[in-house]
């Protein structure tokens, strides 16, 4: 079965300048996995209209779905809705239901021109609800536009993604060892990958405050094959004289 693929456009100078550490990619990736949608590209681009328009235009044609984060607030650098309308080829119009909600939320004296801008969406868009903020995200065609603020982004993902048509969920199984090195298991791991061509067999060195090691991961859409490959990974680690530990290594305690 064809797995739907997705591209995530992170719109924001603040990530590219190093000011802000991204917190949204992992949230979206994990939600899409559960829904059987594969995140196959992420692009982080600046708040420049021509870059947003051309990138949305290219990616909505190349991927089954496009998700965006950032640029839907009330300030001058919030230009995502306008750019997505342009890329999709529709007008920006006032979304009446969103306008009324914002008007109710803000006292009439605070519902200024800047805040009213948040109710202007591409014609034909449907809103993405969230429990945190009254400012709407929206979907138009295969483009899903969400907020950049992590708490609001996560709430929008939680509301939206379970409604999207996906496929079989991605599943994975892992073993790790603090005494092995990638160079020692590369040959054995390649043999496992050859025997399971439809799975991703990955090898990930890790560093922790109290030591290092390698995690080996089998990932794919066939749970039985993933379990078989994980059994082979276990046997490979054992055959090299190490003690396989199930799952991923624990993160450092902070």
- Find the shortest distance in angstroms from Cβ 187 to a second copy: 6
Q: Is residue 179 a contact point for a second copy (CB under 8 A)?
A: no
Closer residue to a second copy in complex, CB, 159/204: 204
Closer residue to a second copy in complex, CB, 126/131: 131
- Find the shortest distance in angstroms from Cβ 26 to a second copy: 5
Count of residues near a second copy by CB under 8 A: 64
Q: Nearest 5°: phi and psi at 102?
A: -65, -40
Q: Is residue 186 a contact point for a second copy (CB under 8 A)?
A: yes
- Report the SS3 class of residue 186: helix
Q: Is residue 182 a contact point for a second copy (CB under 8 A)?
A: yes
Q: Nearest 5°: phi and psi at 135?
A: -75, 130
Q: What is the DSSP string of 32-65?
A: HHHHTEEEEEEEEE-S-HHHHHHHHHHHHHHSSE
Closer residue to a second copy in complex, CB, 25/235: 25
Only segment of 13-21, 136-144, 160-168, 236-244 that touches a second copy (CB under 8 A): 13-21
Q: Is residue 58 a contact point for a second copy (CB under 8 A)?
A: no
Is the Cβ–Cβ distance between 170 and 221 less than 8 Å? yes
- Report the SS3 class of residue 157: helix
CA dist., res. 6 & res. 22, Å (int): 18
Interacting positions 216-235 with a second copy (CB under 8 A): 217, 219
Which of these, 94, 91, 93, 119, lies nearest to 105 by C-alpha position?
A: 119
Q: Give the dihedral sign, CA 186/192/197/203.
A: negative
- Report the SS3 class of residue 27: helix
Q: Is residue 177 a contact point for a second copy (CB under 8 A)?
A: no
Q: Is residue 22 a contact point for a second copy (CB under 8 A)?
A: yes
CA dist., res. 71 & res. 234, Å (int): 46
Q: Is residue 54 a contact point for a second copy (CB under 8 A)?
A: no
Q: Is residue 108 a contact point for a second copy (CB under 8 A)?
A: no
Per-residue binder mask for a second copy (CB under 8 A), 29-48, x = binder: xx--x----xxxxxxxxxx-
CA dist., res. 136 & res. 129, Å (int): 6
Summarize as ranges the residues that interact with a second copy (CB under 8 A). Answer: 10, 13-22, 25-30, 33, 38-47, 73-77, 106, 110, 112-115, 149-151, 170, 172, 182-187, 189-190, 193, 200-205, 207, 217, 219, 248, 254
């Amino acid at each position: 079965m064809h797995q739907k693929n997705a591209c995530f456009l992170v719109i924001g100078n603040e990530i590219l300048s190093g000011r802000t550490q991204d917190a949204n990619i992992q949230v979206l990736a994990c939600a899409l996995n559960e829904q059987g949608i594969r995140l196959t590209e992420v692009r982080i681009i600046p708040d420049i209209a021509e870059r947003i328009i051309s990138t949305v235009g290219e990616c909505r044609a190349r991927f089954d779905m496009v998700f965006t984060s950032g640029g839907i607030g009330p300030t001058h650098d919030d230009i995502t809705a306008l750019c997505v309308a342009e890329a999709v080829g529709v007008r920006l119009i006032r979304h009446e239901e969103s306008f009324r909600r914002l008007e109710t939320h803000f006292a009439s004296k605070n519902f200024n021109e800047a805040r009213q801008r948040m109710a202007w969406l591409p014609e034909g868009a449907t809103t993405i609800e969230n429990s945190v903020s009254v400012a709407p995200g929206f979907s138009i065609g295969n483009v899903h536009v969400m907020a950049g603020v992590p708490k609001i982004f996560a709430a929008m993902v939680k509301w939206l993604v379970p409604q999207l048509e996906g496929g079989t969920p991605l599943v994975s199984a892992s073993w790790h060892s603090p005494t092995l090195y990638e160079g020692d298991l590369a040959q054995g791991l390649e043999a496992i990958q050859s025997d399971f061509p439809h799975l991703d067999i990955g090898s990930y060195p890790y560093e922790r405050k109290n030591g290092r090691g390698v995690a080996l991961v089998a990932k794919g859409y066939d749970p039985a094959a993933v379990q078989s490959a994980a059994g082979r990974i276990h046997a490979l680690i054992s055959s090299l004289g190490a003690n396989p530990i199930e799952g991923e290594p624990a993160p450092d305690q902070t």
